[in-house]
Amino acid sequence: MCQKTPEGWKAVAQGFSDHWNFHHCVGALDGKHISMRALRKGGSYYYRYKGFHSLVLLALVDSDYKFIYIDVGASGVNSDVGVFFNTPLGRALDNDQVGLPPCEPLPGGDHSIPYFIDGDDAFPLKEYLEKQFPLRGLSQEERLFNNY
């Protein structure tokens, strides 16, 4: 599963630092609902509230958009967040079992900051999971952060 060692995660973070000036990020996470035809006798198991049947592709990518973790096949009735927390990666992160590096200061800083995964605003804020500001009522600084 993913990098497994602090050194492996730091190599991914270095890519985000070098390419995007986004320090301590060890991956970008998102889900995509893949539309499908309803299964015969499948009932509403794959039925999504937006009016179609789907399964979920959840992916963690590095700074070059290369997959470093994927989970495919969860029922479309689930949200990205629900799928993520039921994956081996989500459970391992919650149990501090993926080998993320210890907190360190950002370049030029003096306060220790954790290494983290970047998710969209649907994901909850956790020490290992950073997210954008909600897209409503943003200050200029918050808009700039989201567009970073």
Cβ atoms of 46 and 54 within 8 Å: the answer is yes
Does the residue 86 lie in any domain?
A: yes
The tally of CA atoms less than 13 A away on the side-chain side of residue 7 is 0
- What is the pTM for the complete model shown? 0.85
Supply the pLDDT for residue 131.
Answer: 85
pLDDT in the model for residue 58? 95
**Between β-strands 47-48 and 104-105, what pairing exists: parallel, antiparallel or unpaired?**
unpaired
Cα atoms in the Cβ-side hemisphere of radius 13 Å centred on 61: 9
Q: Is 121 inside any structural domain? A: yes
Q: What's the rounded Cα separation, in Å, for the pair 40 and 101?
A: 47
CA distance 47 to 42: 9
What pLDDT, on a 0 to 100 scale, did the predictor assign at position 90? 95
Domain count for the chain? 1
Side-chain half-sphere exposure of 46, counting CA atoms within 13 A: 17
State the Cα–Cα distance between residues 144 and 128, nearest whole angstrom: 22
Among the listed residues 97, 102, 126, the one whose alpha carbon sits nearest the alpha carbon of residue 112: 102
Beta strands 52-61; 47-48: pairing state: antiparallel
Query: Which positions of the chain have pLDDT values less than 70?
Result: 1-3, 39-47, 49-50, 148
Q: Is 1 domain-assigned? A: no
Range of the domain at 58: 6-37+45-146
Residue 57 lies in a domain: yes
Report yes or no on 142 lying in a domain: yes
User: Does 71 reside within a domain?
Assistant: yes
* Residue 66 included in any domain: yes
Query: Does residue 107 lie in a domain region?
Result: yes
Going by C-alpha positions, the residue among 84, 77, 103 that lies closest to residue 31 is: 84
